[in-house]
Amino acid sequence: MKDFTVNFKQYNMLCDKCLINVIKCISNLHGIDGLEISLESKKIKIIYKDKTVSKKMIQDKVNETILTGKVKDIYGFSS
């Protein structure tokens, strides 16, 4: 199975609570193989195997998680 990699900056990730929620949100992604997050540089790198997930979908869920303070997985389910 092919690995997909997403790299982006999340400028509204400002505190430890945001970081924890982003980790929880991304951890719900099926087939995750790697995750690197830096609060200081606001960079997120994800390596995963689920080809049905897009970079836009991931960014939208991460942004929603930060803005609402509620963790939902990529598919919209709360955890």
Give residue-wise pLDDT tens across range 7-37.
999 999 999 999 999 999 888 877 788 999 9
pTM attached to this predicted model = 0.80
Comparing 20 with 78, which gets the higher pLDDT? 20
- Helix (H) or strand (E) holding 8, with range, is strand 4-9
Phi-psi region of 14 (alpha: psi -120 to 50; beta: other; left: phi over 0): alpha
Question: What's the pLDDT score for residue 10?
Answer: 93
Do residues 66 and 21 lie in contact, with contact meaning Cβ atoms separated by under 8 Å?
A: yes
- Mean pLDDT of the chain, nearest integer: 86
